[in-house]
Structure 1
């Protein structure tokens, strides 16, 4: 049974919380540097754990917020970093808008693999409260987020995220610099969120994208025709979803009419 100890605090990593603690100080500094932090920034760290990234952020900021669900680790962070405002809560239930009272948030974290997608969609949904995010995640997911059209990685996540943010794949992180060691490598991604009116219906856009990619090898027409009216005079529905750029998906979602308003 793997246990991780630091400064008289010992925890047994909880698989359900996706706890893998980063050990490489150089990687931690690179993550903090990538966030381009300045004193006065409103910063939120997701899952500080034993405070590796927390310490790097503290070198750059006098105060910031960290969100930690694990009670033992929350107690450690409170004792070790008294200037950090700690929220002992599931990040997915935290109101980012409430935290962004004066400035938009910069979000950082080594996020659990199991809830990567929910965290990303939370950032999308609350993008008016967030300026940027520097996140470490499973390398495969990082590649999917930053993928280009006509590649095998390009899919729902890439389209939905790139429509609302600039996505940058920054660098790979070996699985050997974590304890316990995960099964796969990680990577760090930087998101710069677009704010304000995006010029399209985000909820409808999501539905169109999910439906268009339902069966990757099928054409847009075959995937969409059950839920939307198809008008060949305005778009080439013989193409596949993986061929469309973000701009084309936005245009497609803007004129597609659902067969039932309840289906969107």
Structure 2
């Protein structure tokens, strides 16, 4: 008996085995890493992950799915399940954690922010998102999709848009196409030094994205010495990730 998709959990079960296997094979398998799958549902990815013979953790809050997984994949037991990904304390796992999943669309941005908050422990991620979200994560400066999500994710990770997935390979079909992306932790050491300030600048800058930074950043109090800096004459969407980092370094000196 199959699990019934629950709308309030944003469940759309992938039914195409070839795509499921392609998603799993996009991960770089490393025996020293734990694979954490978010929202396994009926195990369309899980079955391929199990074959990799690595330690697996499953973040699932749907009791019906948990029962189904335990019944159909006998090498899974209670110790494999960690509950709600958004509430999970990463320190409970000592190893580095590779995250994978067909992410529920209604919490996909929150999943990304959770990964960012724990980037020192998450070297890579392969995930399926609503296509629009996937494109925003991978967007480059001076494009309409480039925004807070693009800058914050790309500050920590190299982003690769892998492929698009059609609505008709899900049950029930979503109303939008999906996109699969891969994140690989970059080599930025310590990021901007002051990560709280960095995030504050990025969010304020894009808060009024049509205005120059000299206006949009007023809400967080621009140091007077930076008022005439070249960055202040530009809009947030014109600054690269490295320029946002540079601006943060300058800002924290004053």
Structure 2 length as normaliser, TM-score? 0.92
Match in the other structure for 2:84: 90
Greater fraction helix: 2
Query: Which whole-Å CA distance do the structure 2 matches of 1:172 and 1:25 have between them?
Result: 15
Query: Which whole-Å CA distance do the structure 1 matches of 2:216 and 2:200 have between them?
Result: 12
Contact 1:70–1:88 (Cα < 8 Å) also in 2: no
Match in the other structure for 1:247: 242
Q: Which moved more, 1:71-80 or 1:187-196?
A: 187-196
Match in the other structure for 2:217: 224
How far off its partner does 1:226 sit?
3.0
Match in the other structure for 1:5: none
Query: Which whole-Å CA distance do the structure 1 matches of 2:32 and 2:193 have between them?
Result: 33
Task: Report the CA distance shift for 1:169/1:154 in structure 2 as closer, same or farther (over 3 A).
Answer: same
Task: Report the CA distance shift for 1:12/1:228 in structure 2 as closer, same or farther (over 3 A).
Answer: same
- The size of the alignment, in residue pairs, is 249
SS of 1:129's equivalent? coil
Unaligned runs of 5+ in 1: 1-7, 260-264
SS of 1:224's equivalent? helix
Q: Give the RMSD, CA atoms, in angstroms.
A: 1.9
CA-to-aligned-CA distance 1:111-147 (integer Å, 9 cap, x gap): 0111011110110111122111101000000000000
How far off its partner does 1:40 sit?
5.2
Contact 1:139–1:185 (Cα < 8 Å) also in 2: yes
1:63-142 aligned within 5 A: 63-84=55-76, 85-87=79-81, 89-99=83-93, 101=94, 103-142=95-134
Contact 2:34–2:54 (Cα < 8 Å) also in 1: no
Asked whether 1:191 is paired with 2:208, we answer no
How far off its partner does 1:41 sit?
3.5
